[in-house]
Amino acid sequence: MPLAMTVFQFITFLLIGLGLSFDSFAVSVSVGLLRRDIRFFQACKIAFSLAFFQGVFPVIGWMIGNVIEELISTIDHWIAFGLLFAIGGKMIYEGIKDENALTHLNPFKLTVLIGLSIATSIDAFVVGITFGFLETPIIFPAVVIGSVTFIASMLGLLFGKNIAAKRSHQSLILGGIILTLIGIKTLVEHLWF
Q: Name 91's Cβ contacts closer than 8 Å, sequence gap at least 6.
A: 19, 22, 23, 123, 172, 173, 175, 176, 179
Distance set, CA 93 to CA 67, 111, 193 (Å): 31, 27, 31
Residues counted in the chain? 193
Residue 45 has what pLDDT?
A: 94
| Predicted confidence (pLDDT) per residue in 23-74, tens digit | 788 778 777 877 778 889 999 999 999 999 999 999 999 998 877 766 766 7
The ranges assigned to domains in the chain are 19-192
- 0.75 surpassed by pTM: no
Per-residue pLDDT at 159 exceeds 50:
yes
Beta carbons of 29 and 168 less than 8 angstroms apart: yes
> Is residue 183 helix, strand or coil?
helix
